[in-house]
Amino acid sequence: MAIQLVKGTKDIFGAEVGIWQEIENKIRTICKTFGIEEIRTPVFEFTELFIRGVGETTDIVQKEMYTFTDDGNRSLTLRPEGTAGVARAYIEHGMHNNAQPTKLYYISPTFRCENTQAGRQRQFHQFGVEMLGSYSAAQDAEAISVASVLLEEMGIHGVELRINSLGCPDCRSKYNKTLKNFIGENLEKLCPTCKERYEKNPLRVLDCKETACQKIIADAPSVLDCLDEECTAHFEKVKAILDEMNIAYTVDPKIVRGLDYYTRTVFEFVSDGLTVCGGGRYDGLIEECGGKPTGAVGFGLGLERLIMILEKQQSDLHVSPLKDIYIGSMGEQGFLKAQAFTFALRKKGILAECDTVERSVKAQMKYANKLGVKYSLIIGDSELELGKAELKTMETGEKQEIMLNQLEAFFNK
Residue of 161, 251, 260 whose CA lies nearest to 204: 260
Q: In this chain, which of 302, 328, 334, 380 binds ligand ATP, going by CB under 6 A?
A: 302
Is residue 112 a contact point for ligand ATP (CB under 6 A)?
yes
Is residue 305 a contact point for ligand ATP (CB under 6 A)?
yes
Q: In this chain, which of 47, 83, 102, 126 binds ligand ATP, going by CB under 6 A?
A: 126
Q: In this chain, which of 81, 130, 355, 383 binds ligand ATP, going by CB under 6 A?
A: 81
Is residue 130 a contact point for ligand ATP (CB under 6 A)?
no
Count of residues making up the chain = 413
Is residue 77 a contact point for ligand ATP (CB under 6 A)?
no
Burial class of residue 341 in the structure, from the number of CB atoms within 10 Å of its CB (0-12 exposed, 13-18 middle, 19+ buried): buried
Q: Which residues contact 97 (CB under 8 A, 6 or more apart)?
A: none
Ranges within 165-224 binding ligand ATP (CB under 6 A): none
Span from 99-107, 180-188, 230-238, 301-309 in contact with ligand ATP (CB under 6 A): 301-309
Looking at residue 51, its amino acid is I
Q: CA of 280: how far to CAs of 73, 132, 243, 274, in Å?
A: 35, 12, 18, 18
Q: In this chain, which of 253, 278, 291, 295 binds ligand ATP, going by CB under 6 A?
A: 278
Span from 31-39, 87-95, 296-304, 381-389 in contact with ligand ATP (CB under 6 A): 296-304
Least distance from ligand ATP to the Cβ atom of residue 114, Å: 5
For ligand ATP, which is the closer residue by CB, 277 or 407? 277
Q: In this chain, which of 41, 102, 108, 121 binds ligand ATP, going by CB under 6 A?
A: 121
- In the beta sheet, which residues pair with residue 375? 325, 393
Burial class of residue 356 in the structure, from the number of CB atoms within 10 Å of its CB (0-12 exposed, 13-18 middle, 19+ buried): exposed
Q: Could you give the maximum distance between any two Cα atoms of the chain, in Å?
A: 93
For ligand ATP, which is the closer residue by CB, 109 or 349? 109
**8 A C-beta contact, residue 197 and residue 57:** yes
Q: Which residues contact 208 (CB under 8 A, 6 or more apart)?
A: 190, 191, 193, 194, 197, 214, 217
Ranges within 227-266 binding ligand ATP (CB under 6 A): 257-258
For ligand ATP, which is the closer residue by CB, 309 or 352? 309
Residues contributing to the site for ligand ATP (CB under 6 A): 81, 112, 114, 119-121, 124, 126, 257-258, 275-278, 300, 302, 304-305
